Structure 1
Amino acid sequence: MRKIFSTFFAFAALFFALVACSDEEEGTEFLFDREIMEMSVLRSCADEGDSSACYRIRYHYPIEREHYSGLVVWLDTFVVDDTSKAVSSKQIDKATQFIEYPKGTSSYYDTLDLTDLVQEYIGKYDSLQVALFCKYSDDKDPGSVQRVFLHFGDDLPPSRVTIFDSVWTNGALFEWFRPTDQVDFYKPAELSGEIVGYNVVIYSADKNEDLRNLKVILTTADGVDSTGSKFYRRHSRIRANTDSVWFDSVSHTDKDKNYLRLSIIDGKGFDADVDSLNRFRMVIRGLQSKSEYTIGLSAWDAAGNSSGTEGLSTVETNQLFITTDSVAPVMPTRIFILEDSLFPGKARLDSNNRLRIFWSMSVDPYEVKHPIKSDSIVLIPDTCLFTLCYDTVQTYIIERYSALDKNWKIYDDTTLAAGRFSKRYALDGDTMVASATGIFVTDTIRWVSPGDTIVFRIRSKDKSGYYSAALVDTVYVSPGAHASELECPEGFVPVSVSDSSKFCMEKFEHRNDSGEFVVNVRHSEAVAACEAVSASGFKVSLCNERDWELVCLSGGSLSYGVLNELSVDASSFLFGYCNVGTNDSISAADISKRNPRCVNPAGIRDLPGQYQEWVIGKSEDTVAVVKGSSFKIYNGLDRESLAYCTNRSFPYFTRPAYSTDTIFLYREGTKVDTLFQADTSRTPYEKKPYLTMKDFKDTLQFFDVQDSNGNSIGTDYALYSEYRKGGDAWLDTLANGLKYVPSEIKVVFLTGEKVPFRLAASFYKSTTIGFRCCAYPE
């Protein structure tokens, strides 16, 4: 039997000692200032070169040290148990160790090394209590006993597993995700410990029901097992003792026939990057309809720790699931829309990019053999009366297919009322009208872009939880009024910034032929990439700053270039949906991880965040301009201000300020300033009313910055002393992939200030900056 001490007791004991120390029956008051403080366990050895496991306790001496003799230490609970606050003289005499206080020390801390003393406990215990008591030479009240726990192995269980279930008449689907496991108590951030597997028990309260031969299909990231030969074992469970974890057979006689025990093999740790690799799905078939069952599941790590219990004595308290009745609801086979008059057959959007879809309401028949038929609408004969032949369904589940990650995603808009399917509609010509006798229901899909193609999957669920067959249909959304005038190149969508100015803009930031976002490029490279795009009838270029801004503002109706229909503040929306200021570069780079809610009315995505974007500035002296914000957190700047459509940034490097003019020089505090005319109100610098050539003693090295083809793209400079000291290696760092060719040396006067060197914008690049192309009609 392993001896395990919960960390809960450690904290509870400490807390109790602090707040309840005056409640002893004998009336002893424990003095806080006579106890050691700030205890922490160190796994490192005193010798830094020693890589073996050591056990040292660092602690702060008690506040009161005038009569402090030293620290009394006990290992285990044989002498001092795990709850006592006081100790007797006999217990002190039986102490494991006494650490004498070094009188006159100026240190506030000491370290207690227990490595040698605990060796006899390692391998026998998973954790060990260390009790600590401050001994004083006077007769005043003492402090209370303090405790820490040393952990020798992995005695921390994996996190609890949450099971998601879906049921039907004779079966159920269970889904869960691999839990995290903290392997080392002293390394709380490491949560990818190996999960050996899972114990599962299915239980029926009906002792006459035989569950032993239920059909089981398990799906993992590694494949599918429908026979119990690869990823699970029937009539088996994981067991553990002090040094082993193994899979063991369990009884499955007639006495136990209302149980099914499974052990599921895992063998991997939690994958923090790809969530789908943590997913497990198990389908159970062969259950009875409208019956109650429970399922229990526990995860086991490599050290034999379990996340929970699924034992026979507790199955009644495990997760309940109830199979449905034997008749599934009936669903129609078609979605109806409100057509756009400009594009017949395509659905129109309202001014807030919302799409209305309608379908014939689903019904739940009472009998297996029913006369109700499924077609574009659900056909119910006049002889089949409501509540006698069929009933209404409980709700609908609406999903849309994501072509980016090839998965169905549930449409879950929490802003809508739960009873949104209670209204009825009837078809009136080419539109839908509310009608008490109508046979159609509706839903509003938000954040839809013009020109979208949406594949919907709609299922109804009856009151027993039985899902219908799915209505799968495709809705083609109108590309909008501008599309009737502009046929944009692939990847571009039509936009308008005025009644007379219409052009096309890339829906996302520019991507290469492999679908990767193009970032870490100079402004000139962004210009060249856009000009290389071929589109008949259009001139493609990097977007102009004014055009980018006007598209983002959407006629002045938007501040950040996104439709926000939620009752959340702008900062939360930008953070939650647009990846502004999150430091999440992975979501920025992966288009499938981006949230479709970060969109403007024209269907332009991610204007506020993901990547900042190069644009062509409004004037010649500010050609290289950056718009929007990015995933990066910028210190001292709030994400709302950075993400404004009107915000503009100028990338630059900081360089030392200098002067080459023999002009008047003054000092104001520590700031040196130069003027072209004398200022009698200020104090001359070092009593010199103006500079002379003798004052020019500082030297700068100037460089001609060239691209890979040898073309000059700008000028830069640095202190000559830094260049001489750093050499070619330093110059390569400064060049950042470009070629810095020394051009001239200038003797100057350094003013002592740092100034933004905006000429660097011509060769500035960053992994946070991309760009977007615009196609202008010729």
Structure 2
Amino acid sequence: MRYLKLYLISVLAMFFFACSDDDDGTEYMFDREISEYSVLRECSPGTPEGTTCYKIRYRYPILTDNYSGLCVWFDTTVVDDTSKSVNDKQVALAHDSTNEDAFFQKYKSSGSFYDTLDLTDKITHFIEDGYDSLQVVMFCEYSDGGSPGSVQRLFIPFKDVEAPSIVEPLKDSVWSTGAMFEWYRPMDRTDLLDPSAVSGEILGYNIRLWAEDSTEDIRDLKVTVITPEGVDSKGEKYYKRHARIRYANDSVRVDDVSHGDKRKNYLNLVVLDGKGYDTENVSSNRFRVYIEGLRTSSNSVSYTYTIAISSWDMAGNASGSEADQSTPVNACQGIYTTDSIAPLMPTKIFTNEDSLYPGYARLDSNNRVLIFWDRSVDPVKFDHDIESDSVIIIPRGCNDGSCYENVSRYVIEYYDKLDKSWHEYSYAGGDDRYGVQYQRNDEKFEVDLSGKGTFVTDTIRWVAPGDTLILRIRSVDRSGYYSRALVDSIFVSPGALAKKMECPQGFVAVSTSDTTEFCMEKFEHRSADGSFMTNVLHSEALATCEAISASGFEVSLCGERDWELVCLSGGSLSYGFIEEDASTVADHWSNYCNVSTNDSASAASISKRDQRCMNPMGVRDLPGQYQEWVKGRSKDTVAVLKGASYKVYEGLDHESIAYCTNRAFPFYTRPEYTQDSVYLYREGTKVDTVYVADTTRTLYNVLTKKDFKDTLQFYDVIDANGKVIGTDYSLYSEYKKGGKSWLDTLSNGLTYKPSKKEAVFLTGKTLNYRQASAFYKSSSIGFRCCAYKK
């Protein structure tokens, strides 16, 4: 059994920089520890109906020779929550049948890779004693006195004690007599046994608004709430006035709160929800609250208000500010109303035009687009007579300071067509960025040093050739009053290469040298329903690409060298994305490319991916998200993987695996064997085994094939179409012992057909059997296709 444990399933491959397919990597072996342990909430046959059951499923250690069984301890009375090993006294307590806080699970040696512990009866008293969760410690025991692996531990949750993620109100706009706030429904974990269950129902939100002036009465302010379900301006359906969510006596409820004259400067609201986070449509999680009737600020007085919000799940867990009088002010959000006149904005965004594509914005070599707009102004009186069109027209005699003032900042946002919402550019807009002004002459923008220029500029970064940008720019005056939005669309030039190549839909034009040009899919390949194709064999990925019909092109799985050169972008990049952010490279590939985060949800959803993980040609997510099958550098090479994925590979350098030049090979561990002659040399009582004759030493014996007593069973590995896609092998004794059911545990959905037996000499070592890459598949592996001109 010891040789066929596929113990490195979680570690797909060994990563390295060499060009040869035969280079080895470091092995990471945990051969005396249980692995793949998890908590199951399922009952054994005969359990009374209504019982809540808990089991632990685990995989036996890789080395089962001399494995006696598993010591298990509950709580921290015997083994604390930090120890990596245990002593003889603690082990003895696990064997003591009178100790209810520990037990010993003897090794069954049944031929199965896995075992299950039914803990239901053993932990009932912990549940009855009111435990929220219980620590379970496990340690493998061996009879040969060798050093076992380290302690393994997990925690069994009994209750929903996880609060929703923190929700913060975002001040979207403030005006002279009101403010609008928005937030997004938080995620809530209701089942700690299922890490992906983050869409627990949210009961609602406590909102408390108070005025710094205790004489101001805000109890009857006009409130309009917009929820994903609808609009409520009267407090009859989606919100309640003078109310608060509370948790008391093991129940959560909505209660009325005092709102007498002594508390007239407070307004309490409960916004009702009842739904869980919608991962498919992010915009359907958005809430907005409009509050009107506040006092207008003036030059001498700024009226101050404070708002606080907390979110509550159905179990009464809360996050965010509790919004009561003891809440520190810095845990809440201050509101300052504005003056009475909003700033003015023009109605059009201008760009530098591309000569190849008239009407399209020119993209520079760093994938940036310069945008220009006529500067905003803030009138200081109502009868200003300033006109707003594509530019701001200021009449004669209307001077800076007497008729208008310059605005303090701009907010620049883009519309995401996937999640149907606006997002602010973190690097654009803001204060003190617009001191240089421009004039527009003959459709070109030039810096104006005379002081007469009125246009200002900003830079939009990480733009792909051929993109369409929908932008929203708002100016904000000194009091915080937002202008009406300037909304405009920018059509970005696809570039000369795109004009020349005319790639199929979904592909972008790429160039790897002065003479080599082809098309590559912008994202990893997706099926007809838009979902990414993962968990496919290398041969299936190849066939999928070759089945794509594109006039004038031959489509195939991308070649390894082509993929690598596109990622390197002519040698200017190391990781396949534009490296021009203030953050470190490691932060970039982790935060924007989803490298080694274990976030499979972001990998699966285009709407959750970040545009900053893009190379200059517009190809997305070369590092991170999914590893990608590519064609090897020669016809007889094993299948190769490029790029890192969202998975965490323990013990590996996460940054190194993201290099464009890195390559990986999935493998299974198999016993090393030889069919050549084996030469035995004796030195005293020690016998050395070598496989090449050594004329400098005294020969003790020579073993040939007729002396070999070990036998391997070989198999043809067959895919769903009946095609032989590779060869695998195992010890013949294990095949005879386990039969077909045992083979099925190895097949991963394929068919293992016994083909031949061979007498061999086992060396006692293991090797990385890379031929397994032909029949390896994983949910973290995808691919992308390339299209080449015929």
Q: TM-score range by the shorter chain?
A: 0.7 to 0.9
Q: What is the alpha-carbon distance in structure 2 between the residues aligned to residue 199 and residue 418 of structure 1?
A: 33
Q: What is the alpha-carbon distance in structure 1 between the residues aligned to residue 362 and residue 713 of structure 2?
A: 63
Task: Summarize the Cα distance change of 1:712–1:393 in structure 2 as closer, same or farther, 3 Å threshold.
Answer: same
2:382 counterpart of 1:375: no
Task: Summarize the Cα distance change of 1:570–1:197 in structure 2 as closer, same or farther, 3 Å threshold.
Answer: closer
3-state DSSP of counterpart to 2:752: strand
Q: What is the alpha-carbon distance in structure 2 between the residues aligned to residue 725 and residue 764 of structure 1?
A: 25
1:502 alignment counterpart: 517
1:433 alignment counterpart: 446
Q: What is the alpha-carbon distance in structure 2 between the residues aligned to residue 345 and residue 513 of structure 1?
A: 33
3-state DSSP of counterpart to 1:442: strand
The answer as to whether partners of 2:574 and 2:660 remain within 8 angstroms in 1 is yes
Q: 2:601 aligns with which of 586, 589, 609?
A: 586
2:105 alignment counterpart: none
2:553 counterpart of 1:538: yes
How far did 1:388 drift?
1.0
1:674 alignment counterpart: 691
How far did 1:319 drift?
4.3
Paired amino acid for 1:492: F
Q: What is the alpha-carbon distance in structure 2 between the residues aligned to residue 182 and residue 613 of structure 1?
A: 31
How far did 1:635 drift?
2.9
1:384 alignment counterpart: 398
3-state DSSP of counterpart to 2:519: strand
Q: What is the alpha-carbon distance in structure 2 between the residues aligned to residue 449 and residue 667 of structure 1?
A: 69
The answer as to whether partners of 1:659 and 1:750 remain within 8 angstroms in 2 is yes
1:334 alignment counterpart: 348
How far did 1:768 drift?
2.0
3-state DSSP of counterpart to 2:666: coil
Deviations 1:504-542 (A, max 9, x none): 111111111111111111121111111111111111111
Q: Which runs of 5+ in 2 are unaligned?
A: 1-47, 54-73, 81-91, 102-124, 133-157, 298-302
2:486 counterpart of 1:474: no
3-state DSSP of counterpart to 2:745: helix
The answer as to whether partners of 2:408 and 2:431 remain within 8 angstroms in 1 is no
State the identity %. Answer: 56
1:746 alignment counterpart: 758
2:554 counterpart of 1:550: no
Larger displacement relative to structure 2 (231-240 or 485-494)? 231-240
How far did 1:351 drift?
1.5
The answer as to whether partners of 1:59 and 1:111 remain within 8 angstroms in 2 is no
Paired amino acid for 2:471: F
How far did 1:228 drift?
0.9
Q: What is the alpha-carbon distance in structure 2 between the residues aligned to residue 154 and residue 539 of structure 1?
A: 54
2:174 alignment counterpart: 167
Q: What is the alpha-carbon distance in structure 1 between the residues aligned to residue 255 and residue 494 of structure 2?
A: 61
Task: Summarize the Cα distance change of 1:672–1:438 in structure 2 as closer, same or farther, 3 Å threshold.
Answer: farther
Q: 2:432 aligns with which of 419, 423, 428?
A: 419
2:237 alignment counterpart: 230
1:775 alignment counterpart: 787
Q: What is the alpha-carbon distance in structure 2 between the residues aligned to residue 230 and residue 407 of structure 1?
A: 25
How far did 1:649 drift?
2.2
Tell me: higher relative CO, structure 1 or 2? Use CA pairs within 8 A at least 6 residues apart. Answer: 2
For 1:557-596, what aligned pairs fall within 5 Å after superposition?
557-596=572-611
Paired amino acid for 2:446: V
The answer as to whether partners of 1:57 and 1:111 remain within 8 angstroms in 2 is no
Root-mean-square deviation (CA), in Å?
A: 4.2
3-state DSSP of counterpart to 2:179: strand
2:200 counterpart of 1:215: no
Q: Aligned residue pairs: how many?
A: 647
2:709 alignment counterpart: 697
How far did 1:758 drift?
2.9
Larger displacement relative to structure 2 (188-197 or 437-446)? 188-197
How far did 1:203 drift?
3.5
2:505 alignment counterpart: 490
The answer as to whether partners of 2:372 and 2:456 remain within 8 angstroms in 1 is yes
Paired amino acid for 1:701: Q
3-state DSSP of counterpart to 1:574: helix
For 1:33-432, what aligned pairs fall within 5 Å after superposition?
58=77, 162-165=168-171, 166-176=173-183, 197-204=204-211, 210-238=217-245, 242=249, 246-250=253-257, 258-266=265-273, 280-290=287-297, 291-297=303-309, 310=323, 319-413=333-427, 418-432=431-445
For 1:590-605, what aligned pairs fall within 5 Å after superposition?
590-605=605-620
1:759 alignment counterpart: 771
Paired amino acid for 2:703: L
3-state DSSP of counterpart to 2:504: coil
How far did 1:639 drift?
2.1
Paired amino acid for 2:439: A
How far did 1:621 drift?
2.4
The answer as to whether partners of 2:675 and 2:705 remain within 8 angstroms in 1 is no
1:101 alignment counterpart: none
How far did 1:392 drift?
0.7
1:610 alignment counterpart: 625
Task: Summarize the Cα distance change of 1:682–1:486 in structure 2 as closer, same or farther, 3 Å threshold.
Answer: farther
How far did 1:396 drift?
0.7
Q: Which runs of 5+ in 1 are unaligned?
A: 1-48, 62-105, 127-151
Q: What is the alpha-carbon distance in structure 2 between the residues aligned to residue 761 and residue 313 of structure 1?
A: 61
Q: What is the alpha-carbon distance in structure 1 between the residues aligned to residue 410 and residue 654 of structure 2?
A: 38
Paired amino acid for 1:289: T
The answer as to whether partners of 1:326 and 1:368 remain within 8 angstroms in 2 is no
How far did 1:562 drift?
1.3
Q: What is the alpha-carbon distance in structure 1 between the residues aligned to residue 165 and residue 559 of structure 2?
A: 52
The answer as to whether partners of 1:174 and 1:283 remain within 8 angstroms in 2 is yes
Task: Summarize the Cα distance change of 1:620–1:459 in structure 2 as closer, same or farther, 3 Å threshold.
Answer: same
The answer as to whether partners of 2:411 and 2:430 remain within 8 angstroms in 1 is no
Q: What is the alpha-carbon distance in structure 2 between the residues aligned to residue 679 and residue 602 of structure 1?
A: 58
Q: What TM-score do you get using the length of structure 1 for normalisation?
A: 0.74
Deviations 1:594-638 (A, max 9, x none): 111111110111112211211121212215222222112223321
The answer as to whether partners of 2:678 and 2:689 remain within 8 angstroms in 1 is no
Q: What is the alpha-carbon distance in structure 2 between the residues aligned to residue 705 and residue 176 of structure 1?
A: 53
Q: What TM-score do you get using the length of structure 2 for normalisation?
A: 0.73
Task: Summarize the Cα distance change of 1:369–1:498 in structure 2 as closer, same or farther, 3 Å threshold.
Answer: same
Task: Summarize the Cα distance change of 1:380–1:278 in structure 2 as closer, same or farther, 3 Å threshold.
Answer: same
Q: What is the alpha-carbon distance in structure 1 between the residues aligned to residue 367 and residue 687 of structure 2?
A: 57
3-state DSSP of counterpart to 1:703: strand
How far did 1:470 drift?
0.8
Q: What is the alpha-carbon distance in structure 1 between the residues aligned to residue 748 and residue 160 of structure 2?
A: 46
For 1:724-743, what aligned pairs fall within 5 Å after superposition?
724-743=736-755
Q: What is the alpha-carbon distance in structure 2 between the residues aligned to residue 662 and residue 155 of structure 1?
A: 64
3-state DSSP of counterpart to 1:722: helix
The answer as to whether partners of 1:656 and 1:755 remain within 8 angstroms in 2 is yes
Deviations 1:225-263 (A, max 9, x none): 222112222233456665666544456567765543333
Task: Summarize the Cα distance change of 1:517–1:372 in structure 2 as closer, same or farther, 3 Å threshold.
Answer: same
2:57 alignment counterpart: none
The answer as to whether partners of 1:581 and 1:639 remain within 8 angstroms in 2 is yes
The answer as to whether partners of 2:283 and 2:420 remain within 8 angstroms in 1 is no
How far did 1:278 drift?
6.4
Q: What is the alpha-carbon distance in structure 2 between the residues aligned to residue 240 and residue 525 of structure 1?
A: 54
The answer as to whether partners of 1:671 and 1:752 remain within 8 angstroms in 2 is no
Paired amino acid for 1:673: V
3-state DSSP of counterpart to 2:691: strand
The answer as to whether partners of 1:453 and 1:475 remain within 8 angstroms in 2 is yes
Q: What is the alpha-carbon distance in structure 2 between the residues aligned to residue 243 and residue 651 of structure 1?
A: 51
How far did 1:479 drift?
0.9
The answer as to whether partners of 2:709 and 2:759 remain within 8 angstroms in 1 is yes
